[in-house]
Structure 1
Amino acid sequence: MKRYWKIISICFVTLLVIGTFYIQSSFATSEHLTVEFEKTNGNEDEVQNLMLYGDYLVDHNSWYQQQIPLQMTSEETIDPTNLSFLQKLSRLGIPYPLEKLVEKHKNFMRSKDLEPNYFFEDEHVVAYAQIRNPYERPMKDLTFEIEVLHKQSDEITAIQLEIPEKENYGWMNVDKVQVIDSELKVITRGFRIGGRDELRVYTFDLDEQKLVSHHTIASTPRIENGWSNLRIINDDGNNYLLIKIETIEDDMGHSDGKPNAAYEFIVYDIVNNQSKKIVGSDELLGSIGSASIFNSTLFISSQSSNGVEINQYDIKNDKWGTKPAFDLGDAKTDESPYMKAMNGKLYLIYATTNGHTLFIGDVETGESLYEGQLKVKNKGEDQKDYRLYFNRIEFVQ
């Protein structure tokens, strides 16, 4: 009898916890933090199906800062910390960019490491590439695990291959996956034994199910006194990667006592396997951290007396082009805007004295297509001092 009472007690406590969770969720969702789009001028159709990603930061006191990741559209604001119990269960461990893939291709997505960098999708295929045991030492088991789902036939191509020259690396991870015709390209970032970061591309023939080539895209130099860093700074999902190589030398004998810093920017053409160094003025290269690539043009924003000036670099012809200026009269000049070029349009989110403004313009003419304020609503009493940062824009269906 005692056993049954224990079971009943456990069930009662479980129901109580779940019920409390639902009640708390219902109160929370009634007035949760939202970011509303308020059009100032232009066409509201421009923001249909547009998703903004950002972080909402609140300093509660000198030692505690709250950070909430937000996903914002003109229809709703998704706060992962304020979902219902069932919503949290359904989204558990699934990054937002992969939710639709998981929903449409449950069998294929099962048992995979759900990192967006490891996946590629177009109208024909869904591709996945991961490295087994990327941080294991010694690296005796460093192996590519690749699966490609062919949507029309529902067949899966699977490839497992030990990584060539794996003994030369301290660690390696996948940064990007892309399928071009019948070739799968896996771009990795690794730390080469001897002290260098390295980006490499591995090309697989999907018909033959084998590795056909691999080579280095970019690498950091060896530094005796100091450090170097390498990273991809664009996430535009196109056929080009913008790579930044940073070198810091701690020269104690330098006249001003400051370390020497050097920067190099490389554009890698994924389709043609070509790397090209970007040459420009220090002022232009200093603004390249907020660059965006559309088709074969690199867009770099910089502050000007008229608002934001857009410098354009033609990657194929290796030359700088026109500079359309977008009038952002109320923009704060001490904060760089977030920028992305998509579908012939430029998307700018910039800070103002009253919050943030979303601006959409034509990249060729500089014509304004939409402008609106992003208004934070339903802030808590202890959230008066907040900051909102934006880090990604995409279209969703």
Structure 2
Amino acid sequence: MRKYWKSIAIAASIVLSIGTFYATSAKSAEHYPEFVIQPLSGDIQEVKHLVLEGMYINPSSMNYINSNLKITVQGSSYNSRSILDQLIGNYPTVIKKFQEDYHTFMRGKDPVVSLYFEDSEFLAYANADYTIDTMGPEDFEFEIAVLNKDDGTVNSFAVEVPDGGGLDHIFVEDVQLVENKLYLITQNMVRKNDSFNEEKHIYEIDLDTQNLISHETLAESAQSKENIHTYTRLVENSPTAANEQIILLKTEETVTEEIESIRMTDFKQEIVFYDLATKETETVNVPGLSLEENQLSLVEGSTLYFTRVEEQELIVTPYRLGENQVDRELRIQLQSAMEKGLVPFLSVKEGKLYVVSPQINSKSNGDITVVDMQTGETLFKGQIALKTPSEEKGDFELHLHEIHVK
């Protein structure tokens, strides 16, 4: 019995620690304030399907347990209850829905929205995997799984990543499915001589034959001798949405190195769209719109949404890609001043534009506005606010990281 006393003591300590942990969590959760969507004008039913996910931070407290929260018209809930959730955080709303609706298919798959595609017929998943030896990463391959929603069958296979010998890392940024062809848009870190280059790639995979059909480089990010830095990012569309065109934003910065600092002296951007079916690339020139003043904030189908903030007014300019047409500006008055560089979250659903401030604090509430895209009419205006302001006397911050319209 004596030789087991250490194991018994360790087990008892673990059980006691877990019990104390949950007791502390339950006790501390009671002290977190409740947030509400406070209507100012319009019909609050316009936001009944709106879900806000974020994190509550109180700098005066070192207790961050259960600080992840969800806000709806019903109020707020701190929804990180398990030890695992508290360690890794909460999954995005889309991933939670996939796990609820397709539990078996989702088992063992990474909870990253960019790795999935969904339409009425299929749910597809693609991720990059590799092994590591003494020389670094090798044996890169794509893990593919496609669920047929009608009959429940799953097509699972792996495809070797071409030119894997020069890769240091690869990350899947978007998955698209068009006419039984799976397209993977990736960010690759490529070894070239003694340096690394970031590149955007696209891989086309035939789901019938389970073979790679084509592969090409879309863009490279590099630094030239003239201190010109170029980089390209994939502009986010609605998570998991079906799109036959992908949008890239290329940025070129010219920097000047001074004694104690680096100063940017020139800044240029261009928008490029790539058609998956035709494999054609085209530069988008938006008439009368300066990319230095307007930020490309959202892509919804074939419409690009540009934003800029002027004092306490958000100006949203929609541009219809296929028709090469700029729609009229939408001017949305913000109740709270935005910090420099911050732009509200945008979401479009069924002809309505949802605008939400990315953060609030003890000095400023967050704005929520719903606008009819066709008429420009403001359907709802409200704020994210404390239900009982007097309960929270110290400084706090609420950072939103996702908005979702069900």
TM-score normalised to structure 2 length: 0.80
What is the match of residue 317 of structure 1? Answer: 323
What is the match of residue 343 of structure 1? Answer: 350
Deviation for aligned residue 1:369: 1.3
CA RMSD of aligned residues (A): 3.6
Q: CA-to-partner distance for each residue in 1:174-218, whole Å, 9 max, x for gaps?
A: 111122331211111113334542222212221222222222333
Listed as ranges, the matches of 1:127-206 within 5 Å are 127-133=124-130, 140-194=138-192, 195-206=196-207
The size of the alignment, in residue pairs, is: 387
Give the conservation status (yes or no) of the 8 Å contact 1:128–1:146.
Answer: yes
Give the conservation status (yes or no) of the 8 Å contact 1:145–1:161.
Answer: yes
Q: For residues 323 and 299 of structure 2, what CA distance do their matches in structure 1 show? A: 15
Q: For residues 217 and 390 of structure 2, what CA distance do their matches in structure 1 show? A: 50
What is the match of residue 109 of structure 1? Answer: 106
Among 212, 235, 238, the alignment partner of 1:236 is 238
- Whether 1:248 aligns to 2:260 is no
Q: Which moved more, 1:98-107 or 1:200-209?
A: 98-107
SS in 1 for 2:394: coil
Q: For residues 48 and 271 of structure 1, what CA distance do their matches in structure 2 show? A: 38
What is the match of residue 221 of structure 2? Answer: 220
Q: CA-to-partner distance for each residue in 1:225-248, whole Å, 9 max, x for gaps?
A: 353332224242342544222233
What is the match of residue 95 of structure 1? Answer: 91
Structure 1 residues 231 and 66: alpha-carbon distance in aligned structure 2, compared to 1, 3 A threshold: farther
Give the conservation status (yes or no) of the 8 Å contact 1:135–1:172.
Answer: no
Q: For residues 143 and 160 of structure 1, what CA distance do their matches in structure 2 show? A: 6
Letter in 1 for 2:219: A
Structure 1 residues 245 and 307: alpha-carbon distance in aligned structure 2, compared to 1, 3 A threshold: same
What is the match of residue 48 of structure 2? Answer: 48
SS in 2 for 1:190: strand
Among 98, 113, 116, the alignment partner of 1:119 is 116
Q: For residues 280 and 182 of structure 1, what CA distance do their matches in structure 2 show? A: 33
TM-score normalised to structure 1 length: 0.82
Structure 1 residues 88 and 76: alpha-carbon distance in aligned structure 2, compared to 1, 3 A threshold: farther
Letter in 1 for 2:184: V
Q: CA-to-partner distance for each residue in 1:327-349, whole Å, 9 max, x for gaps?
A: x1634265533323232111112
Structure 1 residues 313 and 135: alpha-carbon distance in aligned structure 2, compared to 1, 3 A threshold: farther
What is the match of residue 369 of structure 1? Answer: 379
Q: For residues 166 and 383 of structure 2, what CA distance do their matches in structure 1 show? A: 51
Q: For residues 144 and 118 of structure 2, what CA distance do their matches in structure 1 show? A: 14
What is the match of residue 300 of structure 2? Answer: 294
Q: For residues 387 and 241 of structure 1, what CA distance do their matches in structure 2 show? A: 35
Percent of pairs identical after alignment?
24
What is the match of residue 25 of structure 1? Answer: 25
Unpaired runs of 5+ residues, structure 2, are none
Structure 1 residues 282 and 170: alpha-carbon distance in aligned structure 2, compared to 1, 3 A threshold: farther
Give the conservation status (yes or no) of the 8 Å contact 1:118–1:177.
Answer: yes
Unpaired runs of 5+ residues, structure 1, are none
Give the conservation status (yes or no) of the 8 Å contact 2:367–2:381.
Answer: yes
